[in-house]
Structure 1
Amino acid sequence: MLNLSIILEDSARNAPDRTALVFGDLRLPYSMVDSVANQVANLLAARGIGRGDKVALLCPNVPYFPFVYFGILKAGATVVPLNVLLQPREITYHLTDSGARALFCFEGTAELPMGERGREGFDATEGCEHFFVLPATPLATESEHGESIWAALDGMPGEFETVQTGPEDVAAILYTSGTTGRPKGAELTHANLLINTMVSDEMFPTDPGGDVSLAVLPLFHSFGQTSVMNVSLRRRATLVLMPRFEPGEALELMRREKVSIFAGVPTMYWAMLSKIHADGAEVPTTLKVAVSGAAACPVEVLKDFEATFGVPILEGYGLSETSPAACFNQLSRPTKPGTIGFPIWGVQMRLVDGDWNTIEGEGPGEIAIRGHNVMKGYHGRPEETAEVLRDGWFRTGDVATRDEDGYYAVFDRTKDMIIRGGFNVYPREVEEVLMTHPAVSLAAVVGVPHASHGEEVKAYVIPAPGATASEAELVAWSRENMAAYKYPRIIEFREHLPMTATGKILKRELR
């Protein structure tokens, strides 16, 4: 018997009155978070959803996320967290691909109408039976989009006997785009996620008085889910929820809530430092641990942050497929800025060539990972699983070097991926959607440097004969058809694109 929900249950049992979540003026103790999660589990059981069923969750960093996430796990079901920026057609794809039986969907705002998009995506999906609205107004029992969770939970008991799941049962399916363009779901087991949470937690000393962690990384993403939410709940810390990153507000929350742990992507650190230097914003003084991942952090930012905050940024590395943490600059050995550190406990890494042969010495080579953190496989995709998994080793598609002390440094992606503001954008997926537009004959999408987002999405387009669409029209159309982080902000029309003899577009010449 092993169920990831033990991290919440254990803390609720041992520190019931400690504050688990802070959201605006709301302060919720561990006992309450656990009891609402129990109600969610009772609701799912009452609707006939249990072990092995998939339940999708479309929700930003608000208290509903942990309530529902742990409720689904307690019921023995598998959580399928969805990116909050998805458009209806993308939501339908994820629900269909995962075989989700229910969707819990946040109502959203006028700017980000998640409830509306979620409902439209749900209505277009065969086989997804239940739609629960997470209302934006606290405790509202009605919603124009469907059944409110508060109405559904009415009368549900606050106790629930957690379903006995096995270590190899899938706890979560995290969608990650592939080079093939269609997102695929990495199946992570209870053992994968629980061990990764425990090892990540034990890398940093716990404050006996109680740590305070700021959750601004999206909880639907593996980094926010494991390294922030799950680690925080396991160590009985207080999790301060922030739905949307804004540097001034983040610094203000850090000061007000006395935040001691912060995990972010490099652009967040850059934005906070810019705010401090430009506007003279006050530097929070309670920070003890700062962690960065998702993209390489510029060494200048690392130096500036340590000089300004008096705390080094510890860089790490991982993927959705590795639960995510795999490699980290850890306190047991010196930090090397510009590297991702060395493998965490229980994880092995090596560099391989295209035929899986080990590359000795510094490399470069593609990172392969083996350990307790490696996914079971891609949901419903045996061929794609076989391409990346062999003898327990997972090949990442990231190219790195390794120094004589065993520290790795990632310097390129074999996958042409664009990282825009911490979100992964896969060019092929954007190209495929662009090419559904009648005015587009061919599209090549690349990342171009951008001051605050790290990279911006740029599309080179060969127009269809006789087509008259303008750049602005194509950008507007893309905005309607793709998630906000994916669509190209820059479009350049070309008569030709550089190609190899076999007709492959030479993207390096376009960057």
Structure 2
Amino acid sequence: MYNLATNLERNASFCPTNTALIFQEHKINYQELNRMVNQVANQLVKLGIKPYDKVALSCPNMPAFVISYYAIQKVGAVAVPLNIMLKGTEVAYHLDDSDAIALICYQGNSALPTGQFGHAGFLQANSCKHFIMIEAENNQEALPEGTHAFNAWLASSEIHFDAVYRKAEDSCVILYTSGTTGHAKGAELSQSNMLCNAQACQALTNQKGTDVSIAVLPLFHTFGQSLILNTSVLAGSALVLIPRFVPKTVMQQMYAHKVTHFAGVPTMYIGLLAFTEKHGSEYISEIAKNMKVAISGGASMPVEILKRFEEILNVPVIEGYGLSESSPVAAFNLLEYKRKPGSIGQPLPGVTMKAVGKDGIEVAQGKEGELLIRGHNVMKGYYKKPEETAKTIVNGWLHTGDIVRIDDEGYVFVVDRLKEVIIRGGFNIYPRDIEETFMTHPDVHLIAVIGVPHKTYGEEVKAFVVLKEDRKVTPKELVNWGKERLADYKYPRQVEILESLPMTATGKILKRMLK
């Protein structure tokens, strides 16, 4: 039985009154959580959702995400988590590309109209048949015609449902990622991929049922989903849900609920340190008493930040590495061994890594080469994209596109990125996505998008634009135009208008000349 939801069922039976979720002032135990998951699973079956069907989910860190995610698993369907900041056309693309036949979407509010964008995408999509709205507490807007109300589902009396049997190789989730060419691609991950990764994460963080984790990373993201959500449910521990990262709120929640495990991207560590240094914190000493481990991933952690965080909270910070295609965790520094700041540590048990040159031959120890990964965490492939899959997974080895060196003790250090991906605050941003959008602007002739250093987010998106002849548009107007059409984390905050872009003789833009 490889259904992820069986971990929840086990806890509902073995430790029913243990706290599973903490959201604001509300606590939900494992028995209650399992019942709510069963209620939603029964409703999904009534809609005609069957094993192997795809169900998209767009929701911030709140109980409804967890309930929906495991309900999708219970019925044997495949979860397709979506970034809550996607706009209508972006949602439509993901729904059609994944063949999703239903979308469960949070209503949101005027500041974050997730439901509005989600419904617009649903109407544009070709294959999606059902729209389910998770009603927001303070939003009194009427639901669109034909919408299923999530809260009504939770009022159902049908509280029993046995998880559908799944094989190890059956698909569990499709997580959208990308490269430097074309649109986002769906990394198809199996039940075995996700279960093994959760087991590995539980072991490396030494997480037990008596522990309390905090979810500040979005659960729709591969890092938060595997390392935080699935690991907590596997361990039977409590999970504090934070829908939006606000340093003061995070510190208060860590204090109030005696959090033992924290995971975040470097910008979150920077934010917590800045808040503490500026405002001080009455909570620090108490938080430090309870904290057991802090985990960093998504981007390289500045060594100075790591050291300061460890000193202030008296907790080890372990850095790791992963990507959607590797479920995601592939390597980590281990608590019981020497940790090397700046290193992503060593491969997980059952995972092999090597660095190869352009010829595909493994480079000598300490030399730089592209990182290749093989093991239980490597994805099945990109959904419906066999050619892209064949380029990325060769003879069982996942080509990451990252340049690394491996030292004489087996520690891996990421040196650079072979791909042009921009990492802003832990979110992967792909220049081609932005460039294709801006090429639809009536005044834009050429555009090149790169990442530039940013002290808070790590990298910021910058666009270099060449206008069409006799056209006049300001950088600020272009920024606002992009903001209307691209997710909030993605649109370029910086635009520079040039007369021309540096190019090769064949007409390829030389982005390195722009940096």
> TM bucket by the smaller chain?
over 0.9
Per the alignment, residue 428 of structure 1 pairs with 432
Q: 1:41-120 residue pairs with structure 2 within 5 A?
A: 41-120=41-120
User: How many angstroms apart in 1 are the aligned matches of 2:139 and 2:226?
Assistant: 27
1:459·1:490 contact (CA, 8 Å) conserved in 2? yes
Per the alignment, residue 215 of structure 1 pairs with 215
Per the alignment, residue 205 of structure 1 pairs with 206
1:400·1:408 contact (CA, 8 Å) conserved in 2? yes
1:127 aligns with 2:127: yes
Per the alignment, residue 12 of structure 1 pairs with 12
User: How many angstroms apart in 1 are the aligned matches of 2:484 and 2:360?
Assistant: 41
SS of 1:277's partner is helix
Q: Which piece of structure 1 moves more, 135-144 or 164-173?
A: 135-144
1:141·1:149 contact (CA, 8 Å) conserved in 2? no
SS of 2:22's partner is strand
Deviation sequence 1:288-342 (CA, Å, 0-9, x none): 1100001000011011111111112100000001011100001231111110000
User: Runs of 5+ in structure 1 lacking a partner?
Assistant: none
Q: Which runs of 4+ in 1 moved over 4 A?
A: 138-142
Note the C-alpha offset of 1:141. 12
Note the C-alpha offset of 1:354. 2.9
Per the alignment, residue 151 of structure 2 pairs with 150
User: How many angstroms apart in 2 are the aligned matches of 1:85 and 1:353?
Assistant: 38
1:288 aligns with 2:292: yes
User: How many angstroms apart in 1 are the aligned matches of 2:135 and 2:403?
Assistant: 44
1:266·1:293 contact (CA, 8 Å) conserved in 2? yes
Pair 121,349 (structure 1): closer, same or farther in 2 beyond 3 Å: same
Report the TM-score when normalising by structure 1: 0.97
User: How many angstroms apart in 1 are the aligned matches of 2:223 and 2:99?
Assistant: 24
Note the C-alpha offset of 1:432. 1.0
Q: 1:408-427 residue pairs with structure 2 within 5 A?
A: 408-427=412-431
1:446 aligns with 2:447: no
2:208·2:236 contact (CA, 8 Å) conserved in 1? no
1:492 aligns with 2:496: yes
Deviation sequence 1:402-451 (CA, Å, 0-9, x none): 11000001021111111111111111111111111011111011111112
User: How many angstroms apart in 2 are the aligned matches of 1:74 and 1:346?
Assistant: 27
1:43·1:153 contact (CA, 8 Å) conserved in 2? no
Pair 274,301 (structure 1): closer, same or farther in 2 beyond 3 Å: same
Note the C-alpha offset of 1:162. 1.2
User: How many angstroms apart in 1 are the aligned matches of 2:320 and 2:473?
Assistant: 44
Note the C-alpha offset of 1:281. 2.4
User: How many angstroms apart in 1 are the aligned matches of 2:10 and 2:139?
Assistant: 27
User: How many angstroms apart in 2 are the aligned matches of 1:391 and 1:355?
Assistant: 15
Deviation sequence 1:37-71 (CA, Å, 0-9, x none): 11111111111111110000000000001100000
- Which one-letter code corresponds to 2:112 in the other structure? L
Q: Percent identity?
A: 48
Deviation sequence 1:232-256 (CA, Å, 0-9, x none): 1111111000011111211111111
SS of 1:123's partner is helix
Deviation sequence 1:376-424 (CA, Å, 0-9, x none): 0000000000001112110001111111000001021111111111111
- Which one-letter code corresponds to 1:178 in the other structure? G
Note the C-alpha offset of 1:90. 0.1
Per the alignment, residue 465 of structure 2 pairs with 461
Per the alignment, residue 168 of structure 2 pairs with 167
Note the C-alpha offset of 1:144. 4.4
- Which one-letter code corresponds to 2:246 in the other structure? E
2:447·2:463 contact (CA, 8 Å) conserved in 1? yes
User: How many angstroms apart in 2 are the aligned matches of 1:207 and 1:215?
Assistant: 16
2:176·2:186 contact (CA, 8 Å) conserved in 1? yes
Question: How many pairs are equivalent?
Answer: 510
Note the C-alpha offset of 1:179. 1.2
Q: 1:291-306 residue pairs with structure 2 within 5 A?
A: 291-306=295-310
Report the TM-score when normalising by structure 2: 0.97
User: How many angstroms apart in 2 are the aligned matches of 1:436 and 1:140?
Assistant: 36
- Which one-letter code corresponds to 1:203 in the other structure? L
Note the C-alpha offset of 1:509. 2.0
User: How many angstroms apart in 1 are the aligned matches of 2:471 and 2:141?
Assistant: 50
User: How many angstroms apart in 2 are the aligned matches of 1:139 and 1:9?
Assistant: 33
2:3·2:73 contact (CA, 8 Å) conserved in 1? yes
SS of 1:203's partner is helix
Note the C-alpha offset of 1:454. 1.3
User: How many angstroms apart in 2 are the aligned matches of 1:402 and 1:155?
Assistant: 55
Q: Which piece of structure 1 moves more, 408-417 or 373-382?
A: 408-417
User: How many angstroms apart in 1 are the aligned matches of 2:271 and 2:153?
Assistant: 41
User: How many angstroms apart in 1 are the aligned matches of 2:73 and 2:241?
Assistant: 21
1:348·1:371 contact (CA, 8 Å) conserved in 2? yes
User: How many angstroms apart in 1 are the aligned matches of 2:362 and 2:207?
Assistant: 38
User: How many angstroms apart in 2 are the aligned matches of 1:76 and 1:361?
Assistant: 45
Pair 475,138 (structure 1): closer, same or farther in 2 beyond 3 Å: closer
Deviation sequence 1:65-103 (CA, Å, 0-9, x none): 110000000000000000001000000000000000000
Note the C-alpha offset of 1:353. 2.2
Aligned counterpart for 1:309 among listed residues 308, 313, 319: 313
User: How many angstroms apart in 2 are the aligned matches of 1:318 and 1:264?
Assistant: 13
User: How many angstroms apart in 1 are the aligned matches of 2:65 and 2:367?
Assistant: 41
Per the alignment, residue 28 of structure 2 pairs with 28
- Which one-letter code corresponds to 2:188 in the other structure? E
1:42·1:156 contact (CA, 8 Å) conserved in 2? no
Q: 1:366-405 residue pairs with structure 2 within 5 A?
A: 366-405=370-409
User: How many angstroms apart in 2 are the aligned matches of 1:293 and 1:492?
Assistant: 31
Per the alignment, residue 348 of structure 1 pairs with 352
1:178 aligns with 2:182: no
SS of 1:452's partner is coil
- Which one-letter code corresponds to 1:84 in the other structure? I
User: How many angstroms apart in 1 are the aligned matches of 2:474 and 2:157?
Assistant: 55
SS of 1:302's partner is helix
Note the C-alpha offset of 1:156. 5.0
User: How many angstroms apart in 2 are the aligned matches of 1:408 and 1:275?
Assistant: 32
1:3 aligns with 2:3: yes
User: How many angstroms apart in 2 are the aligned matches of 1:353 and 1:438?
Assistant: 43
User: How many angstroms apart in 2 are the aligned matches of 1:331 and 1:354?
Assistant: 34
1:269 aligns with 2:273: no
